[in-house]
Amino acid sequence: MNTQIELGDITVDVVFKDIKNIHLSVYPPAGRVKISAPLRMNIDTIRVFAISKLGWIKKKQKKFREQERETPREYLDLESHYVWGRRYLLKVIEVDEAPSVELKHNKMILRVRPGADDKKKQSVIDAWYREQLKKAVPPVIAMWEPLLGVKVERFFVQRMKTKWGSCNHKARNIRLNTELAKKPKECLEYTIVHEMAHLLEPTHNSRFITLMDQFMPKWQFCKDKLNQLPVSHEEWAY
């Protein structure tokens, strides 16, 4: 069951789940507020909890709203694009051959057929990002499986509008956002470990935090770094 509570000009999404403890999250980039609460918790109790956290909520929202944003992509020469946290300048070359993307020095060279529109250019670059992520993920999973004592049956890479990653702990699958190919590789590793830890603990409860602290002591630093990097116009959640 889902509902909302209003705290002045702040709207809080409340989601009731089969959990023991209440959990508050503020998501980038716009500072959306969400509370996950135990199924039988009274809404007035949740409201009092949210009011007690108002100062923290406003501080987090201010931080996210001041965060650098990507401008809409136009796929023009010298436009900035990022790969694993490094900035490249786009060079578009029209040529009568199969579309491709190549990194050379500080350039991202995009080859497209003559007359290709922005939608086509975007699809070529997006497909290239997916391939970079697909290549980068397996070694990270292989390294962390014995450390965490879990087995990832399958992983998926896709465009995700609301999350950096997700986990289906029953099927033992994880999904990763293609946008991660633009971020530093430590952000990818953090996201993978985060989702793999959900194979041990499906929720974001105190046990999950203890597991992250145990296996990746600097995970909060990586999480903050991911949230501080330029974001696209979609809403991201974690």
Name the helix (H) or strand (E) containing 144.
helix 118-148
Contact 102, 124 (CB under 8 A): no
What pLDDT is stored for residue 235 in this prediction?
47
Q: For position 60, what pLDDT does the model report?
A: 84
Which residue segments constitute the domains of the chain, with CATH numbers given? 2-65 (no CATH), 80-228 (3.30.2010.10)
3-class secondary-structure state, position 4: strand
State the pTM of this model. Answer: 0.71
**Residue ranges of the chain with per-residue pLDDT less than 70:** 1, 29, 66-71, 161-162, 228-238
Residues 6+ apart with CB under 8 A from 127: none
pLDDT score for 68: 59
88 within 8 A of 109, measured Cβ to Cβ: no
